[in-house]
Amino acid sequence: MLYPEIVIVGCGNPLFADDGLGPAVIEELNRLQLPDNIKAVDGGLGAPHFIFTLIDQAVTKKIVIIDIVDFGAEPGSLTKLAVEDLPPGSYRDAHSWDLTEPLQRLKDSVEITIYGVQPKRVTAPDMEIGLSEEVQKAIPKVVQHVLTEIGVDYGATIVS
């Protein structure tokens, strides 16, 4: 079994500045000791075809996705989205697969939550390593929200 009951996926490319937020959050989460039924995966650039299309709906009950989202707020702001909020074709996977398509297939049997952080700088197609200060500062609060979402409370995860 590839993916357990709860899967946390950080999407993005660290070579395009703030696009690296997803993998950075996963790195933080993996420093913690998460219960066995939870897996935090650095989806990198391949989440739709390496993860979302390989989810076993009989096993996985919850998916939490972390990514940058341009929703016109201040850089570093956090928003929570559902699959319905993603308009079709808003993001195309490298294999010309719509990100929302595999998620649409899953959403009736799996609970899907998306945490999006407003980026300040996405340098694509130019490469730059490192998050902007605003987005870097958003990491702890994303971690808090994700831990609350998956019901893990180590005493450090209280959200005001």
Partner 1 sequence: MSKVVEISPTTRHEGHSKLVLKVNDEGIVERGDWLSITPVRGVEKLAVGKTMHQVPKIASRVCGICPIAHTLAATEAMEASIGCEVPEDAMLLRYILQCANRLHSHALHNILSLPDMYLPGTDTKINPFSPEEPVRSVALRIQRLREIGQTIGEIVGGEAVHPSNPRVGGMYKNISPLAKQKVYDLAKEGRKLAHEQSEFMIAVFRNFQKRDWAEVAGRQVPIPKDLGYHNQGYMAAAPIYGSSSLDEHPTWFPERWTEVRPWDWYMGEEEITLEDKDYPVGGTTPAGEKAWPQMQACTGVPLYDGQPVEVGPRARLVTFKNYDEKGAIGLQIARQMEYEATCYGMIEAVDALDCSGKVIADEIPQGDGTLGWAANEAPRGCDVHLAKVKDGKVRWFSMLVPTTWNFPTCSRALAGAPWELAEVIVRAYDPCVSCATHMLVVDEDKRIVAQKLLE
Tell me how far, at minimum, the Cβ of 37 lies from partner 1, in Å. Answer: 17
Q: 98 forms bridges with which residues in the sheet?
A: 92
Instruction: Count Cβ atoms below 10 Å from residue 109 Cβ, excluding itself.
Output: 11
- In the complex with partner 1, the residue whose CB is nearer, 25 or 41, is 41
Q: Which residues contact 125 (CB under 8 A, 6 or more apart)?
A: none
Maximum distance among all alpha carbons in the chain? Answer: 43
Interface positions with partner 1 (CB under 8 A)? 2, 11-16, 19, 41-47, 49-51, 53-54, 67-73, 77-81, 85-87, 90-91, 93-96, 99, 116, 119, 122, 124-129, 141, 145
- In the complex with partner 1, the residue whose CB is nearer, 62 or 142, is 142
Tell me how far, at minimum, the Cβ of 9 lies from partner 1, in Å. Answer: 9
- In the complex with partner 1, the residue whose CB is nearer, 51 or 147, is 51
Q: How many residues does the chain have?
A: 160
Tell me how far, at minimum, the Cβ of 142 lies from partner 1, in Å. Answer: 9
Q: Does residue 112 come out as left (phi exceeding 0), alpha (psi in the -120 to 50 range) or beta?
A: beta
What angle separates helix 133-149 from helix 21-29, to the nearest 10 degrees? Answer: 50
Tell me how far, at minimum, the Cβ of 6 lies from partner 1, in Å. Answer: 15
- In the complex with partner 1, the residue whose CB is nearer, 137 or 153, is 137
